[in-house]
Structure 1
Amino acid sequence: MHDIYAGRSNDQAMAQLLAQEQEQGEVLREISEELRHVHEAGKALVARLDAPCQGVCAKAVREAPLRAEASPTGAVVARLYPGDLVEVLHEEGRWVRVRYFHARTAYPKEGWVNKDHLRRAC
């Protein structure tokens, strides 16, 4: 078996072990902070899902791009998937400005979607 501390003094080996422990501690703190953010985002999503619909709600009936502008060439800012619930903010011709909570981040996204992709939900 290979001894990784061969040829080193006890002080050198101890210093290396302490450095490794500090590095592991930093990684654990980063993971803990990320988990805290995920937990908070999850709580926000649950609160939003438990709340009654505010305004007009709609449901995506097929996958659809959520665009920055009410145009088929507008930049895609996110995607809606069948079953996603959205809050209707404004209608403009064939386009609807909506707000929804992104499934992975639980943060709200707003954008425009063609109304053919939506059905009234509440």
Structure 2
Amino acid sequence: MTIMPSGMPVNPTGMANEVQDTINEVFPLYAEVQMLAQRGVYVSVEVAPSKVVVTIKVARSVAATLPELLAHIDDTRPGQLPSGQLAVTGTMCQGSALLRVLIPESWVSAEELALLTGSESADPTSLL
């Protein structure tokens, strides 16, 4: 993607073609998101000119996949949403994508989540 100065003239045909190309690029992603949803992993992707934000919600039935998922996320930080739901934020793609993983209710405590993300040192044997 080329970022052009705001004073440059815009070619309407070229812009329409770029929009169509962008939309066409979304369909493979859409298919992957649908496949994940069928397995209990719900992914929402927001793409803007300056950021990519991905929200991932994992169904309790497949919560056992969370440790592996969290292991692939950089700079993980456990936290809690205003609603009280536990979440982990982090990055992927060398920091250019922000991820928010929503943790199923009652799956782990805040302390256990801190252990899973490596943000607290303690004996994790009770989690196995």
Q: Same fold (TM over 0.5)?
A: no
TM-score scaled to structure 1, two decimals? 0.34
TM-score scaled to structure 2, two decimals? 0.33
| Relative contact order, higher structure (CA 8 A, sep 6+) | 1
Larger Rg belongs to: 1
